[in-house]
């Protein structure tokens, strides 16, 4: 194994504090990583890591070495990615964040399809329903469902509108009465789908009229699938994206409420850190994702 590979193995163990985790990250076996680090220590003539049954930590010499070679290795990796991208080949690590419900439904097919076309791109996929700080959390691209963006510090790309519908279970409507006017929502339990799991405002429009309803007094969650299941259980009325509730509506576990009243439009949006120019791997994934959503999978 080359010295460069040994250094890469050492840095992975130093970061993850585990030979097993480092092996998983590097697609190696744990014994191979152990041998690589041992060979590097033999080459340098110093012990870089303290190994116990409970943890792995840096020695003082290991900390000094990691601090010096870590940035150099990062630049070496970046240089290789830039050269490949200069030749029109998407390569390198691409960190993507998406909402939980959307990510589980769409990202498996998107990621698999993208990897066929761009095998040198490594995808790191994280799912969270909160609205992340894309710069401080070191994400290359975030997928979000939100209202029209107003943040000027990041780059936004609208993909398509996301349809939302009011729903409740047939059992709930039979027990508490059908809803024919938006004003009647105030006397019903209203489940909030909110990033902070606190409350939500529904702005509904029809024939030039608008009505505002506050939700979340009884139940709130930052996950749409959970709210949908609660609605199926008869806990109240919810406003959710169509792609989340479509199976339950088809199976009649949920029924649409006030279908003629339109909620405020939401957009499926990609957003990025303030790049001067989008890295090729980011641009290629964005194009692939938009094609998939607009031509293959309707939201």
Share of the chain above pLDDT 70, in %: 94
Is pTM beyond 0.75? Reply is no
Question: Over the stretch 6-41, which tens digit does the pLDDT of each residue have?
Answer: 999 999 999 999 999 888 888 889 999 999 999 999
Question: Over the stretch 134-160, which tens digit does the pLDDT of each residue have?
Answer: 878 889 999 999 876 666 667 889 999
Nearest Cα residue to 262 out of 292, 242, 289, 282: 242
Structure-block tokens of residue 128: 């969270």
Query: Residue 279: helix, strand or coil by DSSP?
Result: coil
Nearest Cα residue to 192 out of 228, 151, 160, 139: 228
Share of the chain above pLDDT 90, in %: 64
Structure-block tokens of residue 50: 């303290």
DSSP state of 186: G
Q: Around 3, how many Cα atoms within 13 Å sit in the side-chain half-sphere?
A: 5
CB–CB of 147/266 below 8 Å? yes
Question: Over the stretch 240-286, which tens digit does the pLDDT of each residue have?
Answer: 999 999 999 999 999 999 999 999 989 999 999 888 888 889 999 99
Q: Kindly indicate the confidence band of residue 88, based on its pLDDT and cuts at 50, 70 and 90.
A: low
pLDDT reported for residue 214? 94
């Amino acid at each position: 194994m080359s010295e460069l590979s040994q250094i890469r193995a050492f840095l992975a163990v130093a970061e993850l504090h585990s030979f097993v985790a480092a092996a998983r990250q590097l697609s190696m076996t744990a014994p191979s990583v152990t041998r690589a680090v041992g060979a590097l220590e033999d080459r340098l003539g110093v012990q870089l890591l303290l190994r116990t049954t409970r943890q792995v930590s840096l020695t003082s010499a290991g900390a000094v070495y990691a601090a010096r070679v870590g940035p150099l290795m990062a630049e070496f990796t970046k240089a290789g990615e830039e050269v490949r991208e200069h030749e029109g080949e998407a390569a390198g690590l691409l960190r993507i964040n998406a909402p939980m419900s959307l990510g589980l439904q769409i990202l498996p097919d998107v990621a698999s399809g993208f990897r066929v076309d761009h095998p040198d791109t490594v995808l790191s996929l994280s799912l969270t329903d909160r609205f992340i700080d894309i710069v401080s959390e070191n994400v290359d691209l975030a997928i979000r469902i939100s209202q029209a963006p107003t943040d000027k510090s990041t780059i936004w790309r609208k993909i398509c509108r996301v349809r939302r519908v009011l729903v409740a279970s047939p059992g709930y409507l039979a027990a508490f009465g059908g809803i024919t006017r938006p004003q009647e929502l105030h006397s019903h339990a209203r489940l909030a789908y909110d990033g902070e799991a606190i409350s939500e405002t529904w702005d509904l429009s029809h024939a030039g009229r608008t009505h505002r309803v506050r939700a979340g007094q009884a139940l709130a969650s930052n996950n749409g699938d959970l709210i949908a299941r609660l609605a199926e259980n008869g806990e109240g009325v919810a406003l959710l994206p169509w792609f989340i509730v479509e199976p339950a509506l088809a199976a009649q576990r949920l029924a649409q409420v006030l279908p003629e009243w339109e909620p405020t439009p939401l957009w499926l949006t990609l957003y990025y850190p303030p790049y001067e120019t989008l890295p090729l791997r980011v641009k290629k994934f964005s194009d692939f994702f938009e094609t998939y959503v607009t031509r293959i999978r309707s939201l």
